[in-house]
Amino acid sequence: MSKLSAVIADDERLMREQLRMALQRVWPELRIVAEAHDGAEAVELVREHRPDLAFLDITMPVQNGIAAAMEMDGLCPVVFVTAYDQYAIKAFEEGAVDYLLKPVEDERLSRTRQRWEQRQLALPSHWQASLQQLSRQLARPDYLRWIKASVGNSLRMISTGEVLFFQSDEKYTRVQTVGCEALIRMPIKELLQALDPDEFWQIHRSTLVRVDAIEQIKRDDGQRGLLLQLRGYPEPLEVSRSYAHLFQRM
């Protein structure tokens, strides 16, 4: 009996690696035949390899996962992968084999495998219409208003109106408010897509700042750059040269 095959599509290399490693642990019989960097490439690879399953990130450049699934036109069942609960839940309701929230956990991936093995789900007859509805919802801005973040051993719901800035390292993103520092696992790139661009600006490859929290803009003579002083936070934030143009007219 030949192994099952799958295609993975995500524009983030680390996310593809994380999912591939999780699949190796949880579903070693599933062979990853190709990996795509965007939705358009995912469509090409699915047509070429005709896999048993496709794991599609919903938010990708060139063509998002919803549009890619529509163009695949039922060539294989789809598991949507996303950082946003609202897309994941809707995708599952509309007939996707399953959905996975980032970062993908082994226990949750095991349930995907069980559903596949027990049901061998075929795409429903209304699949295209459902994807069109999902695509329309994805096109409408639905910005994050609450952040579910870890503070010590507990979870806290933080309004984006409380957040002074987000700052990422390789594994976590720090959520800083006036009186609290919390952690989430959503990278800056995904946060940038999920937040209102009129409310948050990127000032560094690892930093997003809430615009109305900026109290003062200073020039850093030593580095010939800009520093932001935020209300309620003592340390200045560095503005990299790539983003200095945001403050030229202020």
Separation of CA 148 from chain center: 15
> Is residue 50 a contact partner of residue 75, using CB atoms and an 8 Å limit?
yes
d(CA 216, CA 232): 12
State pTM to two decimals: 0.56
CA dihedral 38, 55, 124, 141 (to 10 degrees): -50
d(CA 18, CA 132): 29
What pLDDT does residue 59 have? 83
Strands (E), the chain: 4-9, 30-36, 53-57, 78-82, 98-101, 146-151, 154-159, 165-168, 173-176, 181-184, 200-204, 207-210, 214-220, 225-230, 237-239
What pLDDT does residue 94 have? 53
Assign residue 95 a region: left if phi > 0, alpha if psi is -120 to 50, beta otherwise? left
CA geometry: angle at 48 spanning 43 and 53, to 5°? 65
CB atoms within 10 A of CB 195: 21
> Is residue 98 a contact partner of residue 79, using CB atoms and an 8 Å limit?
yes
Instruction: Enter the tokens of residue 27.
Output: 């579903």
Q: Each residue's pLDDT tens digit in the chain (250 positions)?
A: 458 999 999 988 888 999 999 999 999 999 999 999 999 999 999 999 999 999 999 888 888 888 898 888 888 888 988 876 655 555 555 555 678 888 888 999 998 898 888 765 556 555 666 677 666 656 655 678 888 898 888 888 898 989 999 999 878 999 999 989 999 988 898 898 889 888 999 999 999 999 999 999 988 766 667 899 999 999 999 999 888 888 875 5
What pLDDT does residue 1 have? 45
d(CA 113, CA 214): 48
CB atoms within 10 A of CB 91: 26
User: If residue 128 lies in a helix (H) or strand (E), which one and from where to where?
Assistant: helix 127-139
Identify the DSSP state of 123. P
CA geometry: angle at 152 spanning 142 and 196, to 5°? 15
